[in-house]
Amino acid sequence: MSTDRTHNGPGPGQKTSGASVQRPRRIWDISPPLHAATPPFPGDTAYQQQWAARIGPGCPVNVSAITMSPHLGAHADAPLHYADSAAAIGAVDLLPYLGRCRVIHAIDVGPLIRPEHLADAADDLPPRVLVRSCRTAPLVWSDEFSAFAAETIDWLADRGVLLVGIDSQSVDPAASKDLPSHHRLLARDMRVLENLVLDEVQAGDYELIALPLKLVEADASPVRAVLREL
């Protein structure tokens, strides 16, 4: 996805000095685009946008209405998504979604990502782990994606991880009905990001910024997920 690179010189109205100018930290946008062609999980609500007002005689603004599943594109699942009595996304602590994280590559390892696929990058894990499981983020729906084995969620939780993220559509296989990895997230009080785009992100440590909206009754929220160099 796109990255921002800003110049190192002085901006308008700024003066140079003997001290070096600090280079802005690079940002990776790890969110897929949202539009009518964005593939939803089968049976979920696709993206739709209608215009309530358009700029013209007597109207100074454009105003639109959007209908979509909160699980479309990069998103944060709430505990409410997999337990009726659990918290909605607007009630969860924001700390897991902001701070140091590690991107680990486990590309084409098969249908389930197991602890041994992450072990080489497990020393001194930060509280957030994002896993790149595919070479290129899919542009159309496919149920052929890598998900987490349930024991991998426990293995990460045992190492102090608060949030896991993945570049596939779900932390459980598409055909799963019992959702073991989702329920291990619930049991270990962990948070999750799905549908990330990690195609251009090298393995290593970054700052994650992926805050969910304060949707007080929702089972998930879209996020604009970015990584920033440390």
Catalytic residues, which ones? 81
Range list of H helices, 48-165:
115-118, 150-158
Instruction: Provide the 8-state DSSP code for 44.
Output: S
Q: In what order do the strands lie in the sheet with 163-166?
A: 3-4, 27-29, 226-228, 204-209, 98-105, 128-132, 163-166, 191-194, 75-77, 220-222
Residue 152's contacts (CB-CB under 8 Å, 6 or more residues apart) are 112, 113, 114, 115, 117, 118, 181
Tokens for 178? Answer: 């019992």
Contact 196, 165 (CB under 8 A): yes
Positive/negative CA dihedral, 54, 59, 61, 65: negative
Can you tell me the distance from the alpha carbon of 76 to that of 185, in angstroms, rounded to the nearest whole number? 12
Task: Provide CB contacts within 8 A for 29, sequence distance 6+.
Answer: 1, 2, 3, 197, 224, 225, 226
